[in-house]
């Protein structure tokens, strides 16, 4: 009789233990494949479940075996060799230290007890350190099956992994062939593993794993049903899950890659950590909360891949990491930064690869967050510097601080006094590389670290001066030096992190591969964590899954005699901006936002009743208007909730300049904390907080601002941060953004790939087109550049530029001026980008760039004849209403996005205005924005205009109220009469009745319209 395959859960458990230890198990005794690391002899010890002491949560046998082998003198001095009071005291001392400090800290630093300091772990050796390698070999990595963890119950854990007797990881295993999955293991942890048990208390273990044969997840702190498990999968097809494994189970990467001795030791030493975070508490107080940190698989894979590549490649390479918004970039950057400190060159294991690791961000909140995370690693704290100002940054660079966190804006201020740092090596970790990289600031950063000078800013006064009679040779030498200074630093490696890589970012930092005859630039697969995968793994929320557009309907009327002409397109835009910004429109939309939030968000207890909302407005003035109306409406309806407004600087309100702090009544720096506290539920913003603001309690966003491209992704992604009680998000869009939003998210749903490279020859073409306009002569370019580089005064430069401005005005018509200025800006922008990556330089490009940097600011903008001027004074707004459309679930195409290279071309000319009569423009506007799409529009309009007012006017109770009561009481009787009429019309006009019943805006409009028609006519029934 043939033996049947064992598909039991016990077999799965045995398979893992066999893979870790190399020890045959009753359920799995066959030989190991060469892919199992235990087969090479580098395995675990199999522990006995009976050796686990539940009172102190330690495997005492393995602990004593390690201490006896590594520190026999301590064992003797502390009398640990035999059972008794001394050993018991030590075990309880160790247990108490783990409770207080966490197992990771105890392993890293050991424990002092009585007269001795006891090491509990021997660290990974640096390459070539034989003694350290032998010491590391003394560590006992062990795994025990079916560990009974409680004195109060007979419950057992499938597996527990220990280092030197200290528990690190627990496992619940399931087998899909027996109809049990990872989800069942999660439920088991949540419902039958008591969090108060010693083994499950915070910091006692670094993670608890739920695993089946296809997927894995982990939790760092058990909290009963609130235990939050995060995926720990490799990803498949740019999404969730794991790829098919031709050599075994889909999850065998756990014991073959992640749980090897060296890998787990690396996690203990460089990733796992108990950190203290401050959070808001009732009464405005701050409280500290301990939190266990453990890496997700994509974070572990990325950091290890970058360390491996960097060691192999040496200094001077560039790496692009495309990780979804909300995927934990702050921790990934922190883990990479502090491990780059210890990285040694491939040629000499004693020589550090980098002198300083510089983390650069353009977000001040993240600047502090990353700094706090990195500093949490004690062995880094002494060599760490967080630059709060330019003076600190200057000092840190000079003193050779190993890890420096700063914002990119601080670099321009340190050039004057920096020593030449070109002999040092740097690792530059750039957060949000799509916005931090490129432009004048980054050019100056290169100058600082490379010991060079450049002139990206024509007004800069930090240039090295020559004598005024400088020779042409000196000028040429300076031009050559400037060309060299523009290139990416050869003494630095770049690590660029972004969720939304633009074409410049892809070409600057991406991996270049040849596909056919075209180059492609992208982030390597092992450095990519897509939005698709993050959403499918529930690590972030899909912010476009519940997306509700609101249509606005307006009716405007002519307010002037006659019928003047206006530019049709511009007039329509102005009219829409006007009606959207009127007090009536702002108030109506504010009411919709508040009503929706109270009923659909607070009323449905989103995020356990703690949900917050963000209102995104088109400019500071509009944000202040919304703050006023939202606050007023909340007060009117006696809601306990309040709003916060956020904007930078001061803004004039009723003739007085006010700041956000003036309006809110508390300092600006307190806004993130206040939003977490009641009564604050609404954050009203224009541009502030729409990027780089991580608040998991944000659930709903009300958008009244055009959004597209990267800004759309960044803005809506404020909602995607996960929270254990957050299961969905809502976006209500008043600005008709749905098509642009879908296109934007599609670009970054999977990998973003640039096809083709920027053609540098386009710079030759642009230069030729600019030269051909004869706004300047090449002699003028040469003269100005020579004067500037020799430190001439302004009165020598301005006459040359003023002559060129005169030619610009006299020689070029309006279209020509627009085209010239657009091409000049395009040349400067494209040259700044291409000069960083080209292997060659071209002196004329550099000279023209210097010249145009001076000329462009002096060129007046073409005086465009605005044929829409005065249209707002010629119209009045009759009515305004807004209507929710059907909620959309935007579905992305499952394909990588392709972007084109940077286009070097400039702008075009003016378009011909479409001039039309005011009456036609008003009709077009009302047709666009003033109608409900009735199935039988003409018939409905007749019913509204004639039949309904006639019936209401004939109502006896209403007629009596008009004759004998004031207008207010007549209105009450009118509304009752209208409801009676609408009920009578239900059978014949169902669609109309539905709008009257379900659409508050239409109900209000119809009620006012019929009352005005009937009351003013005294009941005649004629509208």
Highest mean pLDDT among 591-600, 961-970, 988-997: 591-600
Whole-angstrom Cα distance, residue 904 to residue 591?
A: 46
pLDDT band at 770 (very low <50, low <70, confident <90, very high): very high
Q: Cα separation of 127 and 348, whole Å?
A: 9
Residue 327 pLDDT level (bands cut at 50, 70, 90):
confident
Provide the pLDDT for residue 461.
34
469-505 as b/e: b if 16+ CB within 10 A = ebeeeebeebbeebbebbbbbebbbbbbbbbbbbbbb
pLDDT in tens, 122-135: 999 988 889 999 99
Q: How far apart are CA 597 and CA 612, in angstroms?
A: 9
Domain range annotation of the chain: 9-270, 298-457+471-529, 544-754, 932-1015
> So what's the pLDDT on residue 1000?
67
Among 200, 131, 161, 171, CA closest to 62? 161
pLDDT at 975 over 50: yes
Question: Comparing 1009 with 306, which gets the higher pLDDT?
Answer: 306
- For 680-690, what is each residue's pLDDT tens digit? 999 999 989 98
Same topology between domain 298-457+471-529 and domain 544-754: yes
* End-to-end Cα distance, the chain: 95
Contacts of 342-350 with C-beta under 8 Å, sequence gap 24+, read: 342/126, 343/307, 343/310, 343/311, 344/126, 344/127, 344/311, 345/311, 345/314, 346/311, 346/312, 346/314, 349/126, 349/127, 349/128, 349/129, 350/128
How does DSSP assign 239-296, residue by residue? BSS----TTS-TTTHIIIIISSHHHHHHHHHHT-EEEEEEEEEGGGEEEEEEEEE---
C-alpha dist (Å) from residue 342 to 270, 274, 918: 11, 21, 72
Query: In which band, very low, low, confident or very high, does the pLDDT at 20 lie, cut at 50, 70 and 90?
Result: very high
pLDDT in tens, 649-678: 999 888 899 999 999 999 999 999 999 999
3-state secondary structure of 684: strand
Greatest mean pLDDT among 206-215, 377-386, 492-501, 731-740: 206-215
Task: Give me the torsion for CA of 13, 16, 21, 26, rounded to 10°.
Answer: 40
Helix (H) or strand (E) holding 171: strand 166-173
pTM of the model: 0.80
Long-range CB contacts (< 8 A, 24+ apart) of 761-765? 762/830, 762/904, 762/905, 763/827, 763/830, 763/831, 763/834, 763/842, 763/845, 763/904, 765/904
* Closest listed residue to residue 489, CA positions, set 435, 432, 444: 444
Q: What is the pLDDT of residue 340?
A: 94
Question: What pLDDT shows up at residue 214?
Answer: 96
What pLDDT was estimated at residue 471? 66
Q: Which fold has domain 298-457+471-529?
A: Rossmann fold (3.40.50)
Window from 582-591, 786-795, 822-831, 920-929 with minimum mean pLDDT = 920-929
- Among 374, 246, 230, 323, which residue's Cα sits nearest to residue 524? 323
Q: Which of 730, 675, 677 is nearest to 702 (CA)?
A: 730
- The answer to whether residues 809 and 446 touch, using CB atoms and an 8 Å cutoff, is no
> Which has more confidence, 814 or 316?
316
Please write down the long-range contacts of 932-938, taking CB distance under 8 Å and 24 or more positions apart.
932/553, 932/883, 932/995, 932/1002, 934/991, 934/992, 935/991
* Least confident residue range of 247-251, 495-499, 962-966: 962-966
Give the percent of the chain with pLDDT over 90. Answer: 48
Q: Which residue has the higher pLDDT, 131 or 970?
A: 131
Mean pLDDT score of the chain, rounded to an integer?
A: 84
Please give the residue that has the higher pLDDT: either 189 or 996.
Answer: 189
Q: How does strand 403-407 pair with strand 356-361?
A: parallel
CB 787 within 8 A of CB 780: no
pLDDT value of position 456: 39
- Of 210-224, 300-314, 689-703, the poorest mean pLDDT is in 689-703
Give the pLDDT confidence of 404-441 residue by residue, as tens digits.
877 766 555 443 334 467 778 889 898 876 554 444 55
Determine the average pLDDT of the residues in 939-953: 75
Window from 56-65, 410-419, 840-849 with minimum mean pLDDT: 410-419
Q: Does domain 544-754 have CATH number 3.30.450.20?
A: no
Whether 548 shows a pLDDT value over 50: the answer reads: yes
């Amino acid at each position: 009789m043939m033996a049947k395959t064992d598909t039991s859960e016990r077999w799965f458990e045995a398979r893992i233990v066999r893979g870790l230890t190399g020890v045959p198990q009753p359920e799995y005794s066959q030989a190991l494949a060469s892919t199992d690391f235990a087969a090479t002899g580098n395995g675990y010890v199999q522990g006995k479940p009976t050796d686990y002491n539940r009172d102190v949560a330690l495997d005492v046998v393995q602990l004593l075996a390690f201490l006896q082998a590594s520190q026999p003198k301590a064992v003797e001095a502390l009398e640990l060799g035999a059972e008794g009071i001394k050993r018991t005291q030590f075990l309880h001392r160790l247990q108490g230290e783990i409770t207080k400090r966490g197992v990771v800290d105890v392993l890293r630093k050991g424990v002092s007890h009585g007269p001795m300091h006891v090491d509990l772990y021997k660290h990974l050796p640096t390459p070539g350190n034989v003694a350290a390698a032998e010491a590391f070999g003394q560590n006992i990595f062990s795994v025990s099956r079916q560990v009974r963890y409680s004195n109060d119950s007979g419950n057992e854990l499938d597996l527990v992994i220990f280092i030197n007797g200290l528990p690190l990881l627990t496992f619940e295993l399931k087998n899909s062939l027996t109809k049990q999955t990872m989800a069942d293991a999660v439920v088991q942890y949540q419902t039958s593993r008591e969090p108060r048990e010693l083994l499950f208390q915070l910091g006692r273990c670094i993670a608890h794993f739920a695993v089946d044969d296809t997927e894995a997840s982990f939790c760092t702190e058990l909290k009963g049903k609130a235990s939050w498990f995060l995926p720990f999968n490799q990803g498949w097809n740019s999404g969730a899950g794991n790829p098919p494994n031709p050599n075994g189970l889909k999850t065998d990467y756990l014991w073959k890659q992640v749980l090897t001795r060296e890998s787990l030791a690396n996690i203990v030493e460089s990733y796992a950590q108990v950190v203290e975070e401050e959070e808001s508490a009732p009464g405005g107080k701050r409280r500290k909360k301990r939190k266990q940190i453990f890496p997700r698989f994509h974070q572990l894979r990325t950091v290890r891949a970058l360390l491996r590549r960097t060691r192999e490649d040496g200094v001077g390479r560039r790496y692009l990491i495309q990780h979804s918004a909300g995927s934990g970039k702050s921790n990934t950057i922190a883990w990479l930064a502090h491990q780059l400190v210890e990285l040694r060159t491939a040629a000499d294991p004693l020589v550090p690869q980098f002198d300083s690791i510089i983390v650069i961000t353009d977000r001040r909140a993240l600047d502090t967050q990353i700094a706090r995370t990195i500093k949490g690693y004690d062995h880094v704290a002494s060599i760490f510097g967080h630059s709060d100002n330019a003076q600190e940054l200057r000092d840190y660079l000079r003193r050779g601080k190993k890890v420096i966190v700063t914002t990119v804006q601080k670099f321009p201020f340190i050039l004057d006094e920096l020593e030449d740092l070109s002999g040092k090596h740097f690792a530059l970790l750039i957060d949000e590389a799509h916005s931090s990289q490129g432009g004048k600031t980054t050019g100056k950063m290169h100058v600082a670290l490379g010991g060079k000078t450049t002139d990206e800013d024509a007004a800069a006064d930090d240039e090295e001066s020559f004598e005024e009679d400088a020779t042409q040779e000196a000028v040429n030498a300076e031009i050559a030096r400037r060309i060299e200074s523009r290139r990416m630093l050869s003494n630095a490696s770049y690590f660029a992190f972004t969720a939304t890589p633009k074409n410049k970012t892809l070409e600057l930092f991406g991996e270049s591969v040849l596909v056919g005859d075209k180059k492609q630039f992208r982030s390597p697969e092992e450095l990519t964590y897509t939005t698709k995968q993050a959403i499918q793994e529930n690590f972030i929320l899909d912010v476009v899954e519940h997306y509700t557009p609101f249509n606005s309907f307006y009716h405007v009327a002519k307010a002037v005699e006659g019928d003047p002409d206006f530019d049709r397109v511009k007039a329509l835009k102005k009219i829409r901006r006007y009606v959207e910004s009127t007090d009536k429109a702002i108030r109506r939309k504010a009411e919709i936002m508040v009503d929706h939030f109270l009923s659909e968000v607070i009323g449905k207890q989103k995020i356990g009743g703690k949900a917050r909302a963000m209102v995104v407005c088109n400019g500071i003035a509009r944000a202040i208007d919304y703050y006023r109306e939202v606050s007023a409406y909340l007060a009117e309806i006696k809601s306990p909730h309040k709003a916060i407004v956020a904007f930078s600087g001061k803004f004039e309100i009723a003739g007085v300049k006010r700041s956000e702090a003036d309006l809110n009544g508390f300092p600006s720096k307190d806004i993130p904390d206040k939003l977490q506290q009641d009564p604050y539920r609404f954050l009203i913003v224009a541009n502030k907080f729409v990027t780089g603001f991580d608040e998991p309690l944000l659930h709903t966003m009300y958008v009244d601002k055009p959004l597209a491209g990267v800004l759309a992704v960044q803005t809506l992604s404020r909602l995607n941060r996960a929270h254990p009680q957050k299961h969905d998000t809502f976006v209500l869009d008043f600005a008709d953004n749905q098509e642009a939003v879908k296109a934007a998210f599609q670009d970054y749903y999977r990998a973003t790939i640039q096809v083709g490279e920027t053609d540098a020859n386009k710079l030759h073409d642009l230069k030729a087109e600019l030269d051909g306009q004869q706004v300047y002569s090449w002699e003028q370019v040469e003269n100005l550049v020579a004067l500037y580089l020799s430190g001439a005064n302004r009165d020598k430069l301005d006459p040359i530029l003023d002559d060129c401005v005169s030619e610009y005005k006299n020689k070029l018509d309006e279209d020509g001026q627009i085209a010239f200025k657009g091409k000049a800006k395009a040349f400067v922008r494209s040259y700044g980008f291409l000069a960083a990556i080209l292997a060659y330089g071209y002196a004329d490009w550099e000279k023209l760039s210097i010249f145009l940097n001076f000329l462009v600011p002096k060129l007046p903008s073409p005086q465009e004849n605005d044929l829409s001027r005065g249209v707002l004074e010629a119209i009045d707004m009759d009515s305004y209403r807004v209507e929710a459309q059907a909620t959309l679930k935007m579905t992305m195409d499952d394909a990588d996005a392709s972007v084109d290279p940077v286009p070097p071309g400039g702008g075009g000319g003016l378009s011909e205005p479409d001039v039309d009569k005011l009456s036609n423009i008003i009709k077009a506007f009302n047709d666009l924005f003033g109608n409900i799409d009735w199935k039988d529009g003409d018939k409905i309009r007749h019913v509204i205009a004639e039949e309904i007012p006639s019936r209401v006017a004939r109502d006896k109770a209403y007629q009596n109220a008009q004759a004998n009561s004031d207008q207010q009481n007549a209105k009450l009787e009118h509304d009752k009469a209208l409801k009676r009429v609408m009920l009578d019309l239900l059978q014949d006009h169902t669609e109309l009745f539905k709008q009257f019943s379900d659409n508050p805006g239409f109900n209000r409009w119809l009620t006012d319209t019929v009352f005005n028609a009937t009351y003013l006519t005294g009941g005649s029934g004629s509208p």
